[in-house]
Amino acid sequence: MNLSLSFQIAKTHLLAKKRQTLVAMLGVTFGIAMFIVMISFMQGVNQFLEDSALDASPHVRIYNDVNTQRPSILDAVENGDDQMNIVYHQKPKQQLTRIKNGLQMVSMIEQMPGVLGVSPEVSSQAFFNNGPIQISGVIAGIDYPRENRLYNLDSRIKTGSFKSLLANPNGIVLGATLARKLNVKVGDKVSVTTPLGGNITLRVVGTFGFGIGTVDNIRCYTSISTVQEILGKDASYITDIHIKMDDPLQAIAFGKTLSKQFNTYTEDWSTANQAILAGEKIRNVMTFVVSMTLLVVAGFGIYNIMNMNVINKLKDIAILKATGFGGKDVVAVFLLQAIIIGLAGGLLGLVIGFGISYLLSISPFETGDMISLKTFPVVFRVEYYVMGLAFGLITTILAGYFPSKKASKIDPVAILRG
Amino acid sequence: MSNTVLQASHINKYFYEPEKFQVLENVNFEVKKGEFLSIVGKSGCGKSTLLYILSTMDTDYEGNLEMNGSRLTGLSQDRLADFRNEHLGFVFQFHFLLAEFTVLQNVMLPAQKLGKYSTKEIEARAYEKLKLVNMEDYARKQSSKLSGGQQQRVAIARALINDPTIIMGDEPTGNLDKANSNLVFDIFRKISHENHQTIITVTHDPDFAKGGDRIIEMSDGKIVSGGR
């Protein structure tokens, strides 16, 4: 078999029917361009959702899970296989949401490898009073420098600044939508009441927006000591420890280790954001199904054109065979045409796909202040382009193979007799 | 005998569509090196069928076929293709050049397939063959732009490119006017007498057949005269 000769024949065939070649090529181009755009955009959306979830939530959170269900004392004292205890209406025990030795835990975890940052928090349910209006929310006492390292709070600020929390012990930073509901601006005062009756008046020093409704709507930040003061607790009272890891994927295992070591309840980001992860999986499947369909459609286009091509060239195939070209040579001639179409169309598709993705990534996208997006989220990754070209080539080779096989089986005698 | 280039013995061939029918019945003959042989007979007598069996393209027959001292019956399609490439040249009734290629490319293709010479040598040889058929001035022309007679001459040049032992023609003058027929005949004559290549043609043209060395006449699938 002489490949360069087959290539020469294939090239001549393709160039002789330029328009038909172009149409076949554009089928592949369109399929691959759409594949690239779809996958880049979908992955961009996934990435954005994952980032916004991960940015606003800790990788591992240590807290005290308040649970009113507990084993009765009777079960602890009187138990055995031959008896059964029934206790009605067991009264919940007074439980503190505090983490025992929280501050010591923070400094210990900070020393552990792979930990990016640890931040202690005191959080409580709270009511915000502005005149007769009461709005419920959550007040979080934070150590500003530490919390800022975890969540990059400074970048979330809309008005005022978080830094003022350090200077002003009675300062508070409100979620942007919460501030709007309360109709307060930087410099105004808000009155905060806890469920246990503590009350304090704080001055607004800033507003922030994470782009997540459930955060911006209810959350506000102040210093740890202020919240401890409203709750009437001592300076070691900590309710939450937030941990960020260098690698988010390690958080799951790390959380379990911590849970064992300190005998506390831990939660990692994947359990906290299961809906987002499930959505991501579904979108991935969808992307692949749609992309595959596009490529298969392009493949059928090529199959049709190659089939027609073979039928138009019956006479030529007969001549080639009569002059000593074998079945393999004929397969090579037509398969090479399919591969050239697939490769040229595929490369053009990559370029066009990149172009559309790029345009999409710079087109403005208005979402209001709920979501922190200015343009469509698009990711650019070499893998997608390699994958696109590979899929494109595989479909064209498959689509070209069957007509080529048919061509190689043609009986020259039947054609030459006329 | 060393100068026997083709030996066909006990060739039987059947057609199965629309019903079983014997086209060739116990055909036996030999062809010598350098012989100019014509096979004649009425339409439907099986002469074209015989030629396609001799050409190795039709393998569905009974009997034994030997060329150049090697047995061809029962070889695989690919082996037969290689054999055709090296030892056989074909000229068909309807020109049968590859329309998208130039005259020169058409002539060069079988030699490029054979791969015995470099592309430069093949080109030189192709020009030489085109000169033989007086077509060297058209070498760079698209083959679809030539007239019928010109195409047939190019087809002969293509058949000659690998210096085959045997050149086969299926009504090589069937579609040509008198002047072109004579031209083709003269070329065949020259090839057989000067180059000592064997020529086997199927023809309806009595003048063409008479000019050759031997005529095999067929009727109803049998050789009625000229077989040896």
Q: Is A313 on the interface with B (CB under 8 A)?
A: no
C-alpha angle with apex A196: A191 to A197, nearest 5 degrees? 45
Are residues A39 and A349 in contact, defined by beta-carbon separation less than 8 angstroms?
A: no
A413 CB within 8 Å of a chain B CB: yes
The pLDDT of residue A347: 92
Q: Is the pLDDT of residue A354 over 90?
A: yes
Which residues 193-222 on chain B approach chain A with CB closer than 8 angstroms? none
What's residue A351's pLDDT?
Answer: 94
Model confidence at B151: pLDDT above 70:
yes
CB-count burial class (<10 Å; 0-12, 13-18, 19+) for A69 = exposed
Q: Can you say whether residue A321 is alpha, beta or left, with left for phi > 0 and alpha for psi between -120 and 50 degrees?
A: alpha
Which pLDDT band, with edges at 50, 70 and 90, does B66 fall under? confident
Residue contact A416–B96, C-beta within 8 A: yes
Q: CA A340 to CA A387: how far, in whole Å? A: 18
* Mean pLDDT value of segment B121-150: 84
| Segment A388-403, tens digit of pLDDT | 888 888 888 888 888 8
Chain B residues with CB under 8 Å of A324 CB are 81-86, 88, 110, 113-114
User: Of the candidates A5, A13, A315, which has its C-beta nearest B96's C-beta?
Assistant: A315
Q: Is B93 on the interface with A (CB under 8 A)?
A: yes
CATH architecture of the domain with residue range B4-225 = 3-Layer(aba) Sandwich (3.40)
Residues of A in contact with B98 (CB under 8 A): 316, 319-320
The string of pLDDT tens digits covering residues A277-287 is 788 888 888 88
CB contact under 8 A, A322 and B90: yes
Closest CA to A221 of A173, A283, A276, A161: A173
Task: pLDDT band for A95, please (50, 70, 90 cuts).
Answer: low
User: Can you name the residues that pair with B15 across neighbouring β-strands?
Assistant: B21
Name the residue among A13, A316, A323 with its Cβ closest to that of B85.
A323
Per the prediction, chain B carries an average pLDDT of 82
- Cβ-based neighbour number of residue B93 at 10 Å: 21
CB contact under 8 A, B98 and A324: no
| Stretch A182-204: mean pLDDT | 87
Interval A20-37: pLDDT, tens: 888 888 888 888 888 888
Write down the pLDDT at residue B179: 82
List the single residue in B92, B97, B115 with the smallest CB-CB distance to A416: B92
Interface test with B, best of A323, A328, A405, A417 (most B CBs within 10 A): A323
- Domain residues of chain A, as ranges? 3-54+276-416, 60-67+95-272
Angle formed by the axes of helices B148-160 and B103-114, to 10°?
20
- CA-to-CA distance for A246 and A59, rounded, in angstroms? 10
Q: Which amino acid is at A141?
A: G
Tell whether A80 is within 8 A of chain B (Cβ). Answer: no
Model confidence pLDDT, tens digit, residues A355-382: 999 998 888 877 665 556 677 888 888 8
CA of B107: which chain A residue's CA is closest? Answer: A323
Give contacts of A327 with chain B, Cβ < 8 Å.
77-78, 81
User: What gap in Å lies between CA A252 and CA A73, rounded to an integer?
Assistant: 34
Q: Would you call A96 an interface residue with chain B, using a CB distance cutoff of 8 Å?
A: no
Partner residue facing A418 (CB), from B77, B78, B94:
B94
Kindly state the tokens that stand for A397: 């080779």
Instruction: Sort residue B221 into left (φ over 0), alpha (ψ -120 to 50) or beta.
Output: left
For the stretch A121-158, pLDDT in tens is: 888 889 988 777 788 899 989 888 888 888 878 878 88
Assess A12–B contact: CB distance below 8 Å, yes or no: yes
> Tell me, what's the pLDDT at B1?
43
Residue B72: helix, strand or coil by DSSP?
coil
* Closest residue, chain A, to B105 (C-alpha): A9
Which residue in the block uniquely carries the two structure tokens 């992307």?
Answer: A287
Summarised one tens digit per residue, pLDDT across range B170-191 is 887 777 788 888 888 888 888 8
Nearest to B82 among A319, A326, A413 (CB): A326
The answer to whether A416 contacts B109, with C-beta atoms less than 8 Å apart, is no
HSE-up of residue A239 (Cα within 13 Å, Cβ side): 20
Please check whether residue A161 is in contact with residue A207, taking contact to mean a CB–CB distance below 8 angstroms. Answer: no
Q: Give the pLDDT confidence of B19-61 residue by residue, as tens digits.
A: 888 888 888 888 888 888 888 888 778 888 888 888 888 878 8
Given CB atoms, is A414 within the 8 Å cutoff of chain B?
no
Mean pLDDT of A47-51: 79
Distances (CA, A) of A167 to A143, A162, A171, A250: 13, 10, 8, 36
Q: What is the pLDDT of residues A3-14, one digit of tens each?
A: 788 888 888 888
pLDDT, position A367: 67
The arithmetic mean of pLDDT across residues A203-221, rounded, is 85
